[in-house]
Structure 1
C-alpha cells in the first residue's frame, strides 16, 4: 500500500485540491503572460513539476484549467438533484448555492490583504475575466460551462420542488440561482479595486448576497404557495 493510500481520505482530498489550485493558478499566470494559444499543457506540467498525464487527470481540457471555479457548485447541485427532496431532510437548493459562494468568499479570510494590494482570489477572478475577454475559444467554453451549471441547477430545483425539469418555474428559479453565483464574482471584480481591504470586500459581497438570497427565496416561496393552492388537475 502506498503512502497516499494510507492517508485519511480528508488529507488526500486536501492534497488533491491543493494540486488542482496550483495547476490552475500556474496556468492562469502563464496564459496571461504568453497568451492562451501559445502555452501548451506540457509547459504547465513542467512549471509545476508534474507529468502532463497528471494535469489531464485533474483537468479534461486545456480550457478547464481556468474554468474550475464552479467545480464545487456543480458537484453540490448534482448531490441536491439526487438527494432527498425538501422538506423531508434534503438541503434546500438555494442554501446549497449560498454555501458554495460563502466557501469561496472564506478564501479571502485566509489571505488578509491591506488596502492598496490585490488578493490572490481577486487577482485570479480578474485574470480570468481578462483571458476570457481576449480569447473567443474561452468565451465559447465559458458559455458552455454556464449552460452546464444552469442545467445542473434546473435538475436540482425540479427534484427539490417536485416539478418537471422543463416547467417554467424551474427555468426561472435555476436562472436566479446561477445569477447569485455570478453576483459574487462580479462583486469581487467591482470591489477589488486595490483600495479596500479583503475584509471590507468580503463584507460588501456578503451584503449583496444577502439581498439576492432574500429575493430568490421569495421566488421559491411563491412557487411553493402556487403549487399548494393550485386546483387538483386529476379527476
Structure 2
C-alpha cells in the first residue's frame, strides 16, 4: 500500500507539473515561460521539476513518453498484430483527449485551447524538433520489437520500414485532429472523424505488413 500511495503521488505531481507548464505555454508562449516559473507555481524546486522532466520541451509534450511506454508494451504482445496494437494505443490516447474536452461541461473553451496549443507547437521550432527526435526514438524502439517478432536484426530493412510505416499512424492522428478541430465543436463527432481517418491509413499499413511480414 505504501508503494501504491507513493506511485500515485508521483503521478499526481507529474500531472500537476505538466498541466501548469501547458497553461504557462498557452498564456506566454514557449520562450517566455521558464522551468522556474513552473516550479514556483507548483510549490516545488526547479530540481524537482527536472527529476520528472529532463527538458523544458518534455514538460509541454509529456504525452509522448506515455506513448513510448504503450508502444513497448503493445508491440511486445505477440497475440495481436503490430497494427492492432498501435490502434489500441491511438484509440486510448484519442479517447482520453476527447473525454478531457467535456470534463468542464462546455467543450468550447477546451477545444479552443487545444487548437491554440497545436498552433503554438507548430510555430515553435524547438518543440517541432523535439517531436521529430521523439518520433525517431519511437521508430527505433518499434524496429527492435518488430525485429524480435520476426527473428531479424533491428537495422534490417524490413523492421525499419515497418516501424516507420507504423509510427506514421501517429502523424495521421495528429494531423487529423488539427484538421477536424477546425470544423467541429462536438467531441463525439471529432472522435469518430479522427478514428475513421486513422483506420483508413491503418488498412494500408496492415495490408502491407500482412503480405510481407511475419505475424
TM-score (norm 2): 0.83
Cα distance in 2 for partners of 1:214, 1:155 equals 23
Once residues 110 and 116 of structure 1 are traced to their aligned partners in structure 2, the CA distance between those partners, rounded to angstroms, is 9
Alpha-carbon distance between aligned partners in 2 of 1:40 and 1:206, rounded to the nearest angstrom? 36
> What is the CA distance between 1:111 and its match in structure 2?
4.0
Q: What is the 5 A alignment of 1:199-214?
A: 199-214=188-203
Q: 2:2 aligns with which of 1, 6, 17?
A: 6
Residues 110 and 61 of structure 1: CA distance in aligned 2, closer, same or farther (over 3 Å): closer
Partner deviation per Cα, 1:122-180 (whole Å, 9 max, x = no partner): 734x3443333333322322221121111112112211222221222222211111111
Paired residues of 1:45 and 1:51 also in contact (CA < 8 A): yes
Please tell me whether the aligned partners of residues 72 and 100 of structure 1 are also in contact (alpha carbons under 8 angstroms).
no
In structure 1, stretches of 5+ residues that fail to align are: 229-235
1:112 corresponds, among 99, 102, 110, to: 102
Aligned length: 213
* Contact in 1 for aligned 2:184/2:190 (Cα 8 Å): no
* Partner Cα distance (2:49, 2:43) in 1: 11
Report the alpha carbon displacement of residue 29 of structure 1 after superposing the two structures with TM.
2.3
Aligned: 1:156 with 2:156: no
Contact 2:20 2:41 in 1 (8 A): yes
1:219 matched to which residue of 2?
A: 208
Runs of 4+ in 1 over 6 A off after TM superposition: 113-116
Higher helix share: 2
Q: Distance in 2 between matches of 1:128 and 1:148?
A: 23
Q: CA RMSD in A?
A: 2.8
Alpha-carbon shift at residue 190 of structure 1 (Å) = 0.9
Larger radius of gyration: 1
